[in-house]
Structure formats: C-alpha cells, structure tokens
Amino acid sequence: MRVLVVGSGGREHAIVWSFSRSAEVDKIFCAKGNAGIAELAECIDIGPEDVMALADFALERSIDLTFVGPENSLAAGITDEFESRGLKIVGASKAAAQLESSKAFAKDFMVRHSIPTAEHAVADSPEEAAAILNSGRFGSESDPVVVKADGLAAGKGVIVAGDRKEALAAVESLASGKIVSAEAAETIVLEKCLFGKEVSVILFTDGERFALMPPARDHKRIGDGDTGPNTGGMGVVTDPLLIDEDQRREIIDKIVEPTLEGARSEGSPVKGILFLGLMMTDDGPKVLEYNVRFGDPEAEAILVNLETDILEISRAIVEGSLGETIIQWKEGSSACVILASENYPSSPRTGDRIYGLESASKHENVEIFHAGTSVGDDGEMVTAGGRVLAVTAIASNLSNSLHRAYKAVNEISWPGMQYRRDIGK
Ligand code: AMP
Ligand code: GLY
C-alpha cells in the first residue's frame, strides 16, 4: 500500500506516524511534510491547495490512499478532484467542508437541523454588524458578545468581546483586513457568549456511521492561566473523564446524529473526520464550531491512543463500511505540550537550533511530533515555524501523562522557546 498524507504540521506528523505503524503500508509520501515527517515519509514539494498537482502526483505514483490534514485543502475541493479521477481519499467534499469554511453556513445549518448552538446573527457589512449590536439583540452594553469572521482564518477570526464597546471594535478590526483577510471577514457572524467548559469531540465517519475518538481539551491562549492572544493551540489532553456517559449520550443524540443526518439530507454527507468544538453549558452541550478535519494539536494527543490500524479505518471510511470496524483505543490518558518559537503567535522567529531533541525522544511512552522544523546547513534541527514541536506522552492517568510529557519537555531548548506550564491543570 502506498499512502499520501497532505499537510506539513504536527497533525500531519502524527497521521504519518500512525500510518507508519501499519503492517500493510509499504511507502508513505507527504506533501509537503517537515523535517520530522521526512524520517518516516518521502516529502514532496506540492502545497495543500494545489489539488490538481496532488491528484496528478497520486495517479503517477500509484497512490492507493490519500489522507488530508488541513482544511484549506478540503475547502479547495481536493476530495472532489481525487474522487472524480477514481482516487481513494479520506476527507470531506468541498460542499461538506462548508461546515468549517463558512461560519454563517454552519450556523444556518445548525438552525435548520435544531442542533444546539449559541444564538446568532449574520451581517453582510461592518455597518450592519454594528447596527445589530446597537439594537440590543445581543444583550445590554455590558454583556459579552462573540464576533467571528465568516471564512477560514487559522484560528484568528474569533474575538470574544467582553462588552458592546469591545464587540464594535472587534467588528472594525476584523473588517480592516489586518488580522484576517478581507475576504474571510466579508461576512461577520455575531453570537451570544456561552459559558462552561470546552471539549473537542472528534469522530471518524463514513457519512452515516461514526466512531467517537477520546474526548480532548485544547488550550488556545499563548499564556498560562489562559492569558494572552489565541493561538492554533498550545497543548491538548485527552481523558475519558472530560465527559461522562450522560454527556456522551447527549452529544451523540443532539449533535452528532442530527449533524450527519442533516448533511446527508442536504446531499453533502460528511465523510472522513468531523470535529465538534463544544461548550458544556448548564443547558447541555452546544456547538461552538465544526471542523471537517483533525485538530492540531488534537491529532497529536489523540492518535497516540489509537490501537486499530489507521489504514483499516481509512478503508472503511472510503468504502462506507465503518459500522463493521471495531476501533480500539488505549485506556488511560494522553498529554501534548506545544513548544513554540519566540514571538509566536504574532511574528515567530525561526532558524534557531534545537537542543536536546534526541535525548527527549528516548523517553518511554513519549512521542515528539514536529510542527515547524527544518534541517539547517550543518545537518542540525532548526525551528521553522511558530509551533515547533508537539511533545506527547501517554499514561494510565492524566497526571502521569502530564508528568511524562513535561519531563521530556525539560530536555529540549532553543533561544526564546515558549510553552505553557499549565496544560491539563
Ligand atoms: P471557534 O473557532 O468558533 O471555535 O472559536 C474559537 C474559540 O472562541 C472557541 O474555542 C471558544 O473558546 C471561543 N468561542 C467561540 N464561540 C463562542 C461562544 N459563542 N461563546 C463563548 N466562547 C466562544
Ligand atoms: N486546535 C484547534 C484546531 O485545530 O482547530
């Protein structure tokens, strides 16, 4: 079997690592990959949105299965292109990817299918957004409101505003084109602010059947104690105790099943991965966002727990036979700590030499996934992005997995390295 993985971050390193453990996989390619991925796969220089070139490559090199990491590839229609050429691929179609690529589409979808989510309004201009805010529809001047750019914005398009004044400023700053592209913010979504604990529930699905992965919790802010700006994610823990059995049932009955059924009834079933960003409110679980891909670093924390061959799961997704596959996970818990460059997330410095990687990787039950690394002129590993490494450990419980992850983290260093000391706390 020849497998192609699309993407180049820590998530894709974890996906490549999972395929490398399959007895049936002979060769893995990754577009574009990174220095860590290059130890397991042949990296090819084609970007995730260049779907024509990726499909040409897959045909020329007789790829048996392609697995897509990032949303921009799905939103660009990679799945539709591959399927039209008879190529097998795990990932949502362009139509299904709208659940992630347009927040307005996702909110309207949830309303159509009575899926619990925050009350919202869609504005087609900053003036309209301001008028809606000033109308008092989202509460008084002192109430918090969430302001979101409609389009893909790599985690930067959401501002949780503390009051109306902040919300009006958030509308202005999104519309200015400075923090997200003007295109992504052409439409603005306003939402009532929800309160509770956040949980990421990710599932494999063939469009009809589904299998939940262990629940995960991301840590989005750069600083300890959830301070500072949002990032792509600074660390994730998985633990069965993040949700109880009743909550799990409620999530399935009120969210997972209506979402899959709703997508099918609209002629665009979600195949591949579905990621639910949930707020566990006093009034039950509510959807904050849909993604149609693995999270990053959720993938790093979750895939180390997977016991079943990812190739077998991928095949079942493609063939529509997921119901017949029993997916097994390790019992216990995992922790992933992201090591980031100086000045991440605003303007990360790159090119710093990374020390201690080899000894850290020798720790038992620890996997170090590369997010942004490359090989320097002297063959040494150097930083090459904002998020650099995802240090992941598994253990029988959360506190032991955290202990293991941080022990490995302590061996790694480079000038300006940043990480959160409070993941899982
Ligand atoms: P999203 O990309 O839509 O998940 O938003 C990013 C983050 O913003 C979420 O993980 C939450 O922390 C926060 N957020 C989004 N929507 C809401 C909401 N309606 N109420 C409270 N927090 C929210
Ligand atoms: N870590 C959050 C995401 O990948 O969307």
Kindly list the protein residues whose Cβ atom lies closer than 6 A to any atom of ligand 1: 118, 146, 148, 158, 160, 191, 193-194, 198, 220, 277, 288-289
Kindly give the distance from the C-alpha atom of residue 293 to the centroid of ligand 2, in angstroms, as a whole number.
Answer: 9
**For ligand 2, atom 3, which residue shows the shortest CA distance?**
295
Please write the tens of the pLDDT for every residue from 27-49: 999 999 999 999 999 999 999 99
Computed on alpha carbons and rounded to an integer, the radius of gyration of the chain in Å comes to 21
What DSSP assignment string belongs to 186-231?
Answer: SSEEEEEPP-SEEEEEEEEESSS-EEEPPPEEE--EEETTTEEEE-
* Average model confidence (pLDDT) across the chain: 95
Kindly give the distance from the C-alpha atom of residue 86 to the centroid of ligand 1, in angstroms, as a whole number.
Answer: 38
For residue 65, what are its two tokens? 């299965």
pLDDT exceeds 90 at position 180: no
Q: What is the pLDDT of residue 152?
A: 83
Please write the tens of the pLDDT for every residue from 396-421: 999 999 999 999 999 999 999 999 99
* Contact present, 296 and 7 (Cβ < 8 Å): no
Ligand nearest to the CA of 232: 2
Report which of 9, 301, 354, 314 is spatially closest to residue 155, judged by C-alpha positions.
9
**For ligand 1, atom 9, which residue shows the shortest CA distance?**
288
Tell which atom from ligand 2 comes closest to the C-alpha of 220: 1
Q: What is the pLDDT of residue 177?
A: 81
The percentage of residues in the chain with a pLDDT greater than 70, rounded to a whole number, is 100
pLDDT tier, 186 (very low <50, low <70, confident <90, very high otherwise): confident
Q: For residue 340, give the H/E element and its range.
A: strand 333-340
**For ligand 2, atom 5, which residue shows the shortest CA distance?**
295
